[in-house]
């Protein structure tokens, strides 16, 4: 028996489930070491759908997607059970990989308190796939994500979209890229108003068709706490960040933004009551000059 499995508790006090391909090395032995729970609910599932059917809302359950797991998404995979943590095991090339096959969203966080941790998204296998990740539930956390926004002539529209009801969202350690041949529209798009948004570590580089990060009209962000963002975009006259919805407010610290828009100010827009510290902005497209610290401090 797996010693951890003997305790039959996740870090949040619920059950632990595993998703493992039946073709994976040692699958049979793995199942023996992780037998069903006392009520005969399987602990090991060959598919994410199977695991999604086993978890219970707000019990503190955790689903571990084992290393080397790969899945092609023909339609959005909805994480619709509240309070469940989905975490990929492994590192580097062993991290679970998802490929979005059609012009849809990839993984959709539909319920409150859902966590998605340590997975990768390959470039889509169809053009204009809507997003890698769509967030629609309150209190969700998405972290340790690597995503390829475009490859060859195929691209995502947006890499991550934040929809209605996504208050108290946490985005940490997100790493995204986009090629010039088929740029994404944005790396991160806020579609609806969002309150109490927190993000530490958002790294994005590559060509965009609209902007690196953007809020739609009326999609104000309130009580934002942003730190350690590094966003550099290519394309003609493209800003790194445009958060200009009326009523936006928060703090932005220790960040760097490089765009190709007309001025330093328009390459990193934080309208409303945002307070900035150690925020650098560049309009250079090469390494000939460094970014400028904005806004400029006064003589005091």
d(CA 118, CA 174): 10
Q: Which residues 6+ apart lie within 8 Å of 188 measured at CB?
A: 158, 159, 160, 161, 162, 171, 174, 202, 204, 212, 213, 214
Q: Tell me which residue of 236, 132, 237, 224 sits closest to 177, measured CA to CA.
A: 132
For the cut 90, the answer to whether the pLDDT of residue 168 exceeds it is yes
Task: Please report, to the nearest 10 degrees, the dihedral formed by the alpha carbons of residues 285, 292, 145, 134 taken in order.
Answer: -90
Name the maximum alpha-carbon separation found in the chain.
70
DSSP β-bridge partners for residue 36: none
Q: Which residues of 2-39 are buried (b: 16+ CB within 10 A; e: fewer)?
A: eeeeeeeebebebbbbbbbeeeeeeeeebbeebeeeee
Tens digit of each residue's pLDDT (9 = 90 or more) over 187-235: 999 999 999 999 999 999 999 999 999 999 999 999 999 999 999 999 9
Domains defined for the chain, CATH in brackets: 1-59 (no CATH), 67-294 (2.160.20.10)
Instruction: Identify the helix (H) or strand (E) that includes residue 253.
Output: strand 249-258
Q: Which residues of 124-140 are buried (b: 16+ CB within 10 A; e: fewer)?
A: beeeebbbbbbbbbbbb
In this prediction, residue 299 carries a pLDDT of 46
Binned at pLDDT 50, 70 and 90, residue 280 comes out as very high
Q: What is the mean pLDDT of residues 41-54?
A: 97
Q: Which residues 6+ apart lie within 8 Å of 91 measured at CB?
A: none
pLDDT-wise least confident of 13-22, 275-284, 291-300: 291-300
Q: What is the mean pLDDT of residues 171-185?
A: 93
Report the relative pairing of strands 292-294 and 273-282 from DSSP bridges. antiparallel
In the chain, % of residues over pLDDT 90: 84
Binned at pLDDT 50, 70 and 90, residue 293 comes out as confident
d(CA 128, CA 177): 16
In this prediction, residue 300 carries a pLDDT of 45
Q: Which two tokens stand for residue 68?
A: 């080397």
- In degrees and rounded to multiples of 5, residue 29 shows phi and psi of -65, -35
For the cut 70, the answer to whether the pLDDT of residue 295 exceeds it is no
Query: Is there a contact between 85 and 113 (Cβ–Cβ < 8 Å)?
Result: no
């Amino acid at each position: 028996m797996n010693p951890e499995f003997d305790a039959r508790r996740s870090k949040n006090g619920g059950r632990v489930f595993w998703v493992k391909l039946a073709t994976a090395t040692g699958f049979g032995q793995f199942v023996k070491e992780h037998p069903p729970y006392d009520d005969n609910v399987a602990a090991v599932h060959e598919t994410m759908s199977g695991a999604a059917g086993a978890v219970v809302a707000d019990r503190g359950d955790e689903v571990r997607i084992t290393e080397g797991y790969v899945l092609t998404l023909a339609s959005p995979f909805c994480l619709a059970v509240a309070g469940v943590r989905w975490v990929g095991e492994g590192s580097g090339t062993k991290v679970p990989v998802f490929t979005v096959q059609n012009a849809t969203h990839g993984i959709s966080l539909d319920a409150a308190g859902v966590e998605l941790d340590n997975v990768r998204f390959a470039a889509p296998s169809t053009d204009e796939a809507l997003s890698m990740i769509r967030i629609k539930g309150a209190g969700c956390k998405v972290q340790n994500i690597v995503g390829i926004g475009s490859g060859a002539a195929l691209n995502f529209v947006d890499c991550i979209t934040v929809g209605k009801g996504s208050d108290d969202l946490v985005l940490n350690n997100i790493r995204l890229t986009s090629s010039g041949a088929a740029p994404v529209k944005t790396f991160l798009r806020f579609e609806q108003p969002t309150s109490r948004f927190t993000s530490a570590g958002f790294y994005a580089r590559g060509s965009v068709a609209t902007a690196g990060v953007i809020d739609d009209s009326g999609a104000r962000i309130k009580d934002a706490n942003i730190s350690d963002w590094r966003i550099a975009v290519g394309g003609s006259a493209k800003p790194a960040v445009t958060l200009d919805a009326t009523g936006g407010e928060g703090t932005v610290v220790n960040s760097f933004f490089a765009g190709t828009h007309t001025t330093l100010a328009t390459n990193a827009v934080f309208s409303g009551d945002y307070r900035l510290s150690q925020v650098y902005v560049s309009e250079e497209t090469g390494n000939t000059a460094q970014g400028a610290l904005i806004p400029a401090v006064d003589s005091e």
